[in-house]
């Protein structure tokens, strides 16, 4: 099911690879102009830009660290100055620094929280006034099945992703009266570069927890995001949509 996002401007963080890449391409297919944020991998970002433009879409690359509020503010300003508006924010940027709690460094905890959770705050705060003035907007935050269930060696990642759920519900309550919806997607085991680093033994154990019997694809997640940012989801806010093949049931 395709949504009509013609005339809309979407800011997608962490858009150079994996789930972010799939989201950016899908929203561009639906007609949105894409501001593609990435932290460092300019080569991959250029690949996504080329893929979108080859299909007739419009895309702007906006490099920057979402954990830095001043940087985020400048990126949002750049997009609005160029295109005059911002209708969709997808907070997808994320990192992992996995380790058992006993061995996890303070720095590894802080860095994951700064990017995965504070980055969501930074980007959402930066667009809130604009979307409220427009009396409309769509914000989708990327949580995780780990934020719902927890996971060994991921206390930092799980804390950030669980925090996103609380942030999403609170922001949804604050912004609903101005026509701005805030929802979250909680992917399960998705076939990306991040999960490619897992051993086959670990993947097999995880697959046994998935009723659907397979890993998800980035496109599975992108389809959910495309629905949540569409007009068809105008009466849906404060929700956490699991895209996990039943893993968190």
Active-site pick, 157, 167, 181, 242: 157
DSSP-derived letter for residue 7 is T
**Burial letters 31-67, b for 16+ CB under 10 A, else e:** bbbbbbbbbeeeebbeebbeebeeeebebbbbebbbb
C-alpha span between 107 and 37 (Å, rounded): 24
123/39 Cα distance (integer angstroms): 14
Beta bridge partners of 240: 184
CB within 8 Å of 65: residues ≥ 6 apart: 39, 71, 115
- Packed helices 106-113 and 155-175: angle between N→C axes, nearest 10 degrees: 30
For the chain, state the CA radius of gyration. Answer: 17
- Specify the DSSP class assigned to residue 244: S
The reply to whether 235 belongs to the active site is no
**Which residues are annotated as catalytic?**
157
């Amino acid at each position: 099911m395709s949504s009509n996002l013609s005339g809309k401007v979407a800011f997608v963080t962490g858009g150079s690879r994996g789930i972010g890449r799939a989201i950016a391409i899908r929203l561009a297919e639906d007609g949105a102009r894409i501001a593609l944020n990435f932290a460092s991998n300019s080569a991959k970002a250029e690949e996504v830009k080329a893929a979108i433009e080859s299909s007739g879409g419009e895309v702007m690359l906006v490099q920057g660290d979402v954990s830095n509020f001043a940087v985020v503010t400048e990126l949002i300003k750049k997009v609005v100055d160029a295109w005059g508006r911002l209708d969709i924010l997808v907070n997808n940027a994320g990192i992992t620094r996995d380790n058992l709690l006993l061995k996890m460094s303070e720095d590894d905890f802080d860095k994951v929280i700064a990017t995965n959770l504070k980055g969501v705050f930074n980007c959402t705060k930066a667009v809130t006034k604009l979307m409220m003035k427009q009396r409309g907007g769509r914000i989708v935050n990327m949580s995780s099945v780990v934020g719902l269930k927890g996971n060994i060696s991921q206390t930092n990642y799980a804390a950030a992703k669980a925090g996103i759920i609380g942030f999403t519900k609170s922001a949804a309550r604050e912004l609903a009266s101005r026509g701005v919806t805030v929802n979250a997607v909680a992917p399960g085991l998705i076939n990306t570069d991040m999960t490619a680093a897992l051993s086959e033994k670990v993947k097999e154990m995880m697959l046994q927890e998935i009723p659907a019997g397979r890993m998800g694809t980035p496109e599975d997640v992108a389809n959910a995001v495309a629905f949540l940012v569409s007009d068809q989801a105008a009466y849906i806010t404060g929700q956490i949509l699991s895209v996990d093949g039943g893993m968190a049931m």
